[in-house]
Amino acid sequence: MKLSDDGFNARRLRPRGPNRWRMRIGAALAAVLAAFGILLGMAGIASLLGRPPAIDGLDTSTTGAAILTVFGVLFLYLGIFVWRRCRRRMRRTQDLNLAPHLMKRHD
């Protein structure tokens, strides 16, 4: 194989890998958001069942408990959605993107 002197570097063809720290921090924050959603939903359900949590500032009425439960479920859903998206982006391969018909056949 001939070495070229014009400064060609094959490593430049490969896309630079993204910084993984952003995705890790995003996944951690999403997990915290999902845990907060679980706790908020549990507090709302406990208030609906007649056993309000001993936390000052939470509305213990039926409407307030229903709102807490809805927000808890929404935070849980949002946290899981963001966490799965971050995990999917972290596991994406960083290889060259070649069409399958250009690969060498192994028949």
Reported as a single tens digit per residue, the pLDDT across 58-94 is 667 888 889 889 999 999 999 999 999 998 888 776 5
Domain count, the chain: 1
Residue 3 domain-assigned (yes or no): no
Whether 4 maps to a domain, the answer reads no
The greatest distance separating any two alpha carbons of the chain, rounded to the nearest whole angstrom, comes to: 80
Between CA 55 and CA 9 the distance in angstroms is: 62
- 101 assigned to some structural domain: no
Give pTM, 2 decimals. Answer: 0.66
Parent domain of 24 = 20-91
Alpha helices in the chain, H assignment, sequence order: 20-48, 62-91
Within-domain flag for 67? yes
